[in-house]
Structure 1
């Protein structure tokens, strides 16, 4: 278009002024981006640091609490083991007053102990550490008694929390099996740990208003939790996200807890010798409260600074560009028009998928070359190509794969057209054409066969094609047009040749021309 020649040249003043504006704008943009980037990185680093410190704090606290619980139960278990040894040595029926006083002494000197008890094989109280006499009770229904009666494990068994029948307080039972010399079950020795002992200890830690400390059995039975809710003692927390996460990956993460739906950063620590674990959770909101406050303040200052910089920059650029704003708009409009025209030209001439010429350009070039051949008395050849079983290819591999296949065919045709004056075009869905000026039938067959072989030799998979690969069929025709002939005659003859190639087995080049009237002559040309 002539619009390409009407774009006004950039003056020397514009050449000196606009780079300066670009440099100033780039500098201001770099400063703003740098401020935002530094602020963002600072906020992110501060948040990660705060979370890392919280994770370290919860991990250290969980380790300390787990060690405390482990030591507490180990001390109780050690006392219980000595009592078991005495009972099994002397026999459960020869305990006497001395062992009773011994149990009372152990409980009085151990703050975590609520009581110690010995039961016979029937679950009846045979001995206890209580100072006052109590009614005769039977504990054969307790979980720990059933466990030891059915298991020959001589190690300590830590059961789920229970409410003591003697003091009506919540306790954690630690028990051992009693056996005679033949290994027969003769009863259970029990020591109960006061849950209030853990509660008092956990209350001494600063975990914020929304913090959480949990100790529970591996089975999910809750032993103690801060904040303390008595109704939750002994209930199962196996369905809580916190418990499921500990089972999956014992690491620190923020997860919502079913009891209060708060996000907390949890750290877990299993006890070394007993089937319990400790979980410490700090509220994510409380952990990040100071970080949020600092982030708001620092971000506000950065925003104010950015606004000032932007206001000053806009004022400066406005003063510089105000005088030639109209000229710049005109130039931009003309440049946009030229660019649009070039894009329209490209779209009008080329196929959007394959990049080669489209049907419109092919028809125009066909008429022009046909008229030129009439004037000059030269030969004009046409090759029509069609992808074999392309519909089945699309159905089997999908349309994206079909588009990629057509792009591959277009590339092979582009590289196989031999001369610069030849035109490769996509004239239909899977149909292509090669227009060959000043080319006889033999030359056209050579070009078509070269393209066919290059496509077949690529070995592109096509399971719906009997050949197993992507192939093409080619119809070739050449003529020396004379006055009174039309270009469609060349196209119709090449199309007949293409039909012949398809009907005789595909993946071949077939000429169709008056000059090649017999099958033997066609075979001779193809063989040459």
Structure 2
């Protein structure tokens, strides 16, 4: 069989590696898809980061305004309390001063919109005088947090306590209070100013905030004083475990962050700030849904456009790849047709063996290789004995079958890829054996002879009664100046010698032109 030395598809010349066009097209289309998706992702990511950055700045500015307003609100109330504490500690709060104190309290409340009222309590928590026209009745305020604070703390600093309901009219207020001492510094009572919860509610509403936005005023311990949206049940609750109080405030007194609220579970961009003058914290936040509403709309429209482009590129790519596949299939069919034509041109159609054209090409290659490598080259020529009689007896159709069977026997003995079995013409065959000396050629020739006999093809015109072959072998080391015709003639001479010696045998011709005949008889 032809090998890589003899194959017509490995003829000398430059072979260009074919570009895998279909794979390249798929990779290109995939790269375009990835680039478009990557660009869309980068654009949307930058746009989202920009919107979040603007929201962060807005929340920071809002908390700064809230902090300033809250500080001003409590500072004004604190100044009123301070002046009144000085007045009470200087003039006292006896029966003769009560009427004047009540009018003073009432005037001060009228001057500040945030004040619900001003109230003075004695050391037992009972009302002494208020800004209201009549004193409330009841058990007093000894149970209130602010009253207990001043009983236990000598400080003259104003105290802001948790929000409470006024026992005067039930309105929610944020108490800011101061301790009243006698001349010896002993506890004499508490002066309290109530900040209206509604004041902060109106203040919060003055800011443009989305429906899911949030504003918060609380103590530094996490107690909620006022919030937008207002939920009465949440007033006075603790948010000390929230992100702001637990993690952010210990790191910085102001800043911004995005997280999910522990109160209502809404994710927002929060700005927060702790007041410098009072133990208060303010926060303002916008929901992420509102902040990114425009971004979501842009992302949707951009994604639709990119998706349409991707679909278009995909359809174009599919058509292109389909056309490439069609072209490749056509080329493959042409290649198969070319290979079939090459096979027809270089192989015998009856036996499937190489023909003389491929034999001559292989001889040219092996002559050159043998000369370069100084390796022996052998040739076996064989002929079917009494084949004319066979055709005359059995007919040409059976004769063709006989030729095919002999060709199979021949191929079965050519074990190496380099060996080339040839139908030389008519009933004559040849076997080219590279890197094989005369002894190896004789051995293979004998194997061929035995293989044909083992086929047991009946031949009444042969003395043996079955088909046999005669074989002639010749071997030499090419020098580079040798003649292929002489090489073939010497192998043919050995074959002639085998036939003259009685057929059904192997003969060899040495390089000195002396004839050695190896007789093989099956009788």
Give the TM-score range, shorter chain: 0.5 to 0.7
Tell me the distance in 2 between the aligned counterparts of 1:150 and 1:206: 43
Aligned to 1:196: 198
User: TM-score, length-normalised on structure 1?
Assistant: 0.57
Q: Structure 1 residues 142, 23: closer, same or farther in 2, change over 3 A?
A: same
Tell me the distance in 1 between the aligned counterparts of 2:150 and 2:72: 23
Deviations 1:395-419 (A, max 9, x none): xxxxxxxxxxxxxxxxxxxxxxxxx
Structure 2 unaligned regions, length at least 5: 336-523
- Structure 1 residue 151, shift from structure 2 partner: 0.7
Contact 1:214/1:225 (CA < 8 Å) preserved in 2? yes
Corresponding position: 1:265 with 2:266 = no
SS in 2 for 1:260: coil
Q: Structure 1 residues 114, 14: closer, same or farther in 2, change over 3 A?
A: farther
SS in 2 for 1:303: helix
Q: Structure 1 residues 175, 8: closer, same or farther in 2, change over 3 A?
A: farther
- Structure 1 residue 197, shift from structure 2 partner: 0.4
Aligned to 2:105: 103
Q: Which of 296, 299, 302 is the matching residue for 1:295?
A: 299
Would you say how many aligned residue pairs link Structure 1 and Structure 2?
329
Deviations 1:233-273 (A, max 9, x none): 12222244554344455543332223322211211111121
State the structure with more CA Rg: 2
Q: Structure 1 residues 4, 276: closer, same or farther in 2, change over 3 A?
A: farther
Tell me the distance in 2 between the aligned counterparts of 1:7 and 1:98: 127
What is the CA RMSD across the aligned residues, in angstroms? 3.2
- After TM superposition, the structure 1 = structure 2 runs for residues 345-364 of structure 1, keeping only pairs within 5 Å, are none
Contact 1:242/1:255 (CA < 8 Å) preserved in 2? no
Aligned to 2:92: 91
Q: Which of 314, 319, 341 is the matching residue for 2:318?
A: 314
- Structure 1 residue 279, shift from structure 2 partner: 1.5
- Structure 1 residue 182, shift from structure 2 partner: 2.2
Aligned to 1:274: 278
Tell me the distance in 1 between the aligned counterparts of 2:11 and 2:210: 69
SS in 2 for 1:92: coil
Tell me the distance in 1 between the aligned counterparts of 2:274 and 2:13: 78
- Structure 1 residue 134, shift from structure 2 partner: 3.5
Aligned to 2:518: none
Q: Which of 167, 172, 175 is the matching residue for 1:173?
A: 175
Contact 2:123/2:187 (CA < 8 Å) preserved in 1? yes
Tell me the distance in 1 between the aligned counterparts of 2:14 and 2:318: 21
Aligned to 1:374: none
- After TM superposition, the structure 1 = structure 2 runs for residues 204-353 of structure 1, keeping only pairs within 5 Å, are 204-241=206-243, 243-249=245-251, 251-325=255-329
Q: Structure 1 residues 26, 118: closer, same or farther in 2, change over 3 A?
A: same
- Structure 1 residue 102, shift from structure 2 partner: 1.0
Contact 2:127/2:135 (CA < 8 Å) preserved in 1? no
User: TM-score, length-normalised on structure 2?
Assistant: 0.57
Taking CA–CA contacts closer than 8 Å with sequence separation of 6 or more, which of the two structures ends up with the larger relative contact order? 2
SS in 2 for 1:192: strand
Tell me the distance in 2 between the aligned counterparts of 1:157 and 1:326: 93
Tell me the distance in 2 between the aligned counterparts of 1:69 and 1:239: 23
Contact 2:127/2:136 (CA < 8 Å) preserved in 1? no
SS in 2 for 1:201: helix
Contact 2:218/2:281 (CA < 8 Å) preserved in 1? yes
- Structure 1 residue 178, shift from structure 2 partner: 1.2
SS in 1 for 2:268: strand
